[in-house]
Amino acid sequence: MIQQILFLIVTLATIFFSYKAYSAIAYNIKLGRDYELVDDKSSRWKTMILIALGQGKMFKYFIPALFHLFIYLAFIFTQIELIEILIDGVFGTHRFLSEYLGGVYTVLISTIEILSVLALIATIIFLYRRNILKVPRFHKPEMKGWPFKDANLILFGEILLVTGIFLANSSDLVLQSRLPEHYHHTGRFVISSILADGIFNGFSTGTLHFLERFGWWLHVLVVFGFILYLTISKHLHLIFAFPNTFFTSLTPRGEMENMPVIMAEVKSMMGLTEGGDAAMEMSEEIPEFGAKDITGLKWKNILDAYTCSECGRCTDNCPANITGKELSPRKIVMMVRDRAEEVGKKIRSGNSEYIREDLKGDEVKLTADNFDDGKSLFDLISDEEIFACTTCNACVEQCPLLINPLDTILQLRRYRILTDSTGPQDWMPMFTSLENSGSVWQLQETREDWINQ
């Protein structure tokens, strides 16, 4: 009875704190502006199933993808065992599903054990690659500190989870023969039966009972801890990969988002609109183009940031980064996530210090619309980074989760060029020429003069 009460307390606490944490993340994502979706749900479902569930883009690199698949499948199948753990924890039963599934239960748990061993092997290999082999993309500047520790912590957590599974299963198998009235027969599991015969048979009944309970609780606490830990980890992609792939853009890769105000003005200048009704009037306030901060980005850009697994394939294949420039698409995405966390936390604090000076008042409450902390994404991302991008889409092509760092870069670049009127000096003659003659080349003749020659 004490264990049931303790289990309920731990479970309810996990639900409460995880709800608060995930709600905060959802709030941060909604800080972004609207994102127009192409209404083709069948294509969206197909993309999500292929990429998120089926790991479709992982296998461009077969070996690491195979090891990642071991961990992924072990994670999926272990959730079935977690259902049983929840039932046993709440109602005080022991291996509840075994009574109803019979031989299928033995096969199911054996499958989980085989996958757990494969996942353990993959975990050790991943730890080796990060810490001993030191694969370069895991040691870029943006990966120093917490990002590097985060990856190791989750891998060590995987080792603890597998340890808990085999401690509980192996001890249980021996106890079934010693205390059949409390530990009913479940059949012999593939891996645990070997451990039970070779190691656990030599332990006393009291020790086995302790190890079985210790393994069971270790499994529970690691899983619950994992649920909470995801909210501050790159491994949030385990959950967000599904909505992110579902809401990914279905437009051709590389197609830029049009700006209606600019289009209307250009059409008016070229005489393509009647009376220039849609054009921006000179007396009107000049709109803000592109994105300066989180609220200027689309909510999908922020969802991208929370989905990022920090694998570094985007940066590893970026021609700008390869040639020694500062640009790292992974860093851009990571900074968006960090800034979203910062802005969301400040807005939820309700502190009037963060209200725009011209909007402050006695009864004015802090919201996303009047928020201003004197910072922006440009405090985290330099001009050199955003202007180094060649818009080649290599980062978009490489991402296994369909994240689009290029879209974020283009929105930041638009703000610098169109709103701040800044940019690399060698770009300015091109802009001037485009404005004057419609050509990127500085020629005396207008673009259409060749027609009359």
- Give the pLDDT of residue 44: 93
**Contact between residue 37 and residue 89 where contact means Cβ atoms under 8 Å apart:** no
Indicate the domain borders of the chain.
2-30+61-236, 287-452
Beta bridge partners of 355: 371
Q: For residue 34, how many other CB atoms are within 10 A of its CB?
A: 8
For 403, phi then psi, to 5°, come to -75, 145
- Give the pLDDT of residue 276: 47
For 429, phi then psi, to 5°, come to -60, -35
- Give the pLDDT of residue 408: 96
Using alpha carbons only, what angle is made at residue 333 by residues 327 and 339, rounded to the nearest 5 degrees? 115
Cα separation, 63 vs 219, whole angstroms: 28
Q: What is the CATH number of domain 287-452?
A: 1.10.1060
- Give the pLDDT of residue 332: 97
For 65, phi then psi, to 5°, come to -65, -40
Residues of the chain with pLDDT under 50: 275-280, 282-283
**DSSP conformation class of 299:** H
Cα separation, 70 vs 192, whole angstroms: 19
- Give the pLDDT of residue 446: 64
| Residue in the structure block whose two tokens are 């994502």 | 29
